[in-house]
Chains A and B, each alone.
Chain A
Amino acid sequence: MPAIRNQVRELRAARNITQQELADQVGVTRQTVIAIEQDKYSPSLETAFKAALALGVSLEQCFQYDPKGRR
C-alpha cells in the first residue's frame, strides 16, 4: 500500500465531476489527476489542498497518510 492514499476518484465520482474538470480547477493536467487517482503520484501540498477545495472536503478527507505504506 502506498504511504499516501486518496479518495479523489470516489469524491469526484460522487460529485459527477470529470477528470478534466477537476484538472482544470486544480491547475494540473488530466494525466496528473489520473496518476493521483491511481496512487502513483503524490501531489504537492498546494495541489492536494486545491484538489480538496475543488472537491469540497477537507485535506484529511481527501488524502490520508499511512506511515507503514511504501514511499
Chain B
Amino acid sequence: MSSLSYREKSLYASLLIELAVYLPYFFLHGHNSVSKVAGMIAAIIVLQIAAQGIIAALTRNRITDERDRLIELRGYRVGYFTFATLMALGLAMLWFHASVLNNFHPEHSNMGLHFISVFFGILVIADITRTVAQLIAYRRAL
C-alpha cells in the first residue's frame, strides 16, 4: 500500500465500498423499495466518510498534484460518456417498449420504483466506470 498515492488509496476504498453496497442491492435483493434505495445512499455516505477519514489519518503525505487532477478529469470524461450512453440506451428502450411493443404502462404501481432503480443503476455504473478508469490511469502511469 505504501507504493500507492493518497488519491489512489482513496479511489480503491471508494471502489470497494461502491461494490460492497451496490452489488447486493442490484443483484441479490429481489424486491427493492424506496427505503432500500435511501438506506443504500445513507450507507454509502457513512462508509465513504469513515473510509476516507481513516485513509487521511493513516497517510502522511496527502499531496495531490497536476497528474492527479488530470487523471480525475479523464475519469470524469469516461464516467460522463458512460452515463450519456446508458441514458440514451435507456430512453431508446423506453421508446421501443412504448411505441413498438406497446407494453409501457406508467399507471402501474411499481413503475416509479422501476424508474428510480434504472436511473440509479445508470448513475452507479457511470460512477464505478469513472473510478475504474482513474485506477487504470494510475496503474498505467496515466
Q: Which residues in A have some Cβ–Cβ distance to B below 8 Å?
A: 27-32, 34-35, 38, 40-41, 43-44, 47
Contacts and interface: CB of A to CB of B under 8 A. Distances in A.
The DSSP consensus for interface residues of chain B is loop
B46 interface: no
Contacts of B8: 31
B35 interface: no
Interface of B: 3-6, 8, 61, 63-68, 138, 140-142
A1 to B, nearest CB: 16
Given A29-B5, A31-B5, A31-B8, A41 B63 contact: no
A29 B68 contact: yes
The 8 closest A-B pairs by CB, nearest first: A40-B141, A35-B141, A28-B65, A31-B5, A32-B67, A29-B5, A41-B142, A44-B66
7 contacts: A27-B63, A28-B65, A29-B5, A29-B63, A31-B4, A32-B67, A40-B140
Contacts of B138: 31
A38 B141 CA distance: 9
A27 B5 contact: no
Contacts of A30: 5, 61
Given A35-B142, A44-B66, 6 more contacts: A28-B65, A29-B68, A31-B138, A32-B66, A32-B67, A40-B140
